[in-house]
Chain A
């Protein structure tokens, strides 16, 4: 089994100061993000914070309007988008879905279906699958490609909790076995895979980043999810050093209000006490 290679693995994708501008506003900007071979990077953030946009930019579905994105040469990506709908008029079995973007030999196909726990659904039409089953089918499809970089946009949506743990375990096994990089978006603001090497919290920009606590052993966590969950999931606790105000400005931890959350520009705009009080009320 491959050891965790975070930090010393080959860089698969690297974003530098990347941003996407649409309809007169920045969906996300100034993102620095690197995923290396064997590394698991998780994005969290509220709705509309640019998680999916960031991921799409990283894998080349969107072209950055700012900054740059570098992908290693002939990078093989396995992508599970947030939402896939297949028109009823298109007859598509799970088996056929597996070879959507490339040929597969019989054993690779079978292995991937088994790994995702849906080998009994191989001949089923995808339109008849439940949300969780379809999610597994999409994951199986991405896995079967044996990608260098596995990209999962909310992979556990529509999956029940035990299924969620099983899927995360599967993702970890795949990473351990193949040494691929994993870039995933968590649907829960506070729960990430325990194996995550780097967590990025997005809110139109990278608010903060870091490593999640190894395994959460807190009593309430155990109580809530059971001890087995602790092996796979971790609660990511973090404190922002700034708050986004409704008017678009930013209040930093020291009480100053600035136009951006960039620490260096903080001195630029001083705020009077009145403004800070007002801002506090708004934020509350």
Chain B
């Protein structure tokens, strides 16, 4: 089954979307869209480091993204510049550093477009194993972390007072994000990872009553976006990564359309007594 490159792309993309759904929800809830973008941009620095030190590409990207988030936390704690400005600085300087480092390494040929926009059609069996293995690990940790992280998202002070250790939850979440970026880079590329996190989550909001259902809705939306995007790219001969994002965008726009009948049934719910 996995002999066909298109099937491999579908399997890899769907796996990625399932992992991105719940993570993306937290990115949206915590208003970390730009933060996620910054971590993703630092991935190119990770690619350069991986080539420089001859380590596994995913490991290099994970380390770079994690370092970017730690650097941001440290700079935030110093409190001289706003988070917004710090993110702007980190985001573009890590990307630029990566590009400069790559240029210095004349002995390696790097498909820059592949890293920036992804090359899902070149996914190997090993990549699929990495996506599902790593993705399962990310989701397992997130499930374990769910209550403290959600409590920290709703109100950090309540979480702290009631023993949820929000700082630790936040830090582990950063590591999960870094892992997600390391896994996703090859599929949708550095520049489009954030959209895979955020757009399905945003589309899922309308149809969810609890955080948990929104996470599931985001995963499903992402999976549908991957499948339709890939078939679209095959049909229209468009680049696969951006096609997936366009498909996700269309789903998001559809979710914005008000369906009176659907809304009517939802509005009566709060009034019902159990």
Contact = CB atoms under 8 A, between A and B. Distances in A.
Contact of B29 (A87, A101, A151): A87
Interface string A71-100: 000001111010010110111110011001
A120 B271 CA distance: 7
B161 A79 contact: yes
Interface stretch (A53-61, A191-199, A260-268): A53-61
Given A90-B153, A92-B154, A59 B161 contact: yes
Interface residues of A, number: 32
B158 A122 contact: no
Nearest to B206: A91
A141 to B, nearest CB: 8
Contacts of B151: 100-101
Interface string B137-160: 000000000010011011101111
B260 interface: no
B97 to A, nearest CB: 32
B274 interface: yes
Interface in A91-133: 91-93, 96-97, 100-102, 119-125, 128
B154 A84 contact: yes
Dominant secondary structure at the A interface: loop
Contacts of B164: 101
B211 A96 contact: yes
B209 A61 contact: no
Dominant secondary structure at the B interface: helix
Given A101-B151, A125-B270, A90 B158 contact: no
Contact of B270 (A76, A89, A128): A128
Contacts of B155: 81, 84
A78 B162 contact: yes
Contact of B158 (A76, A81, A120): A81
A91 B213 contact: yes
B211 A91 contact: yes
A96 B210 contact: yes
A122 B157 contact: no
16 contacts: A56-B157, A61-B161, A76-B162, A77-B161, A79-B162, A81-B155, A87-B31, A89-B28, A91-B211, A93-B209, A93-B210, A96-B211, A100-B150, A102-B147, A123-B269, A123-B272
Given A89-B205, A101-B162, A123-B270, 4 more contacts: A90-B154, A91-B208, A100-B147, A145-B162
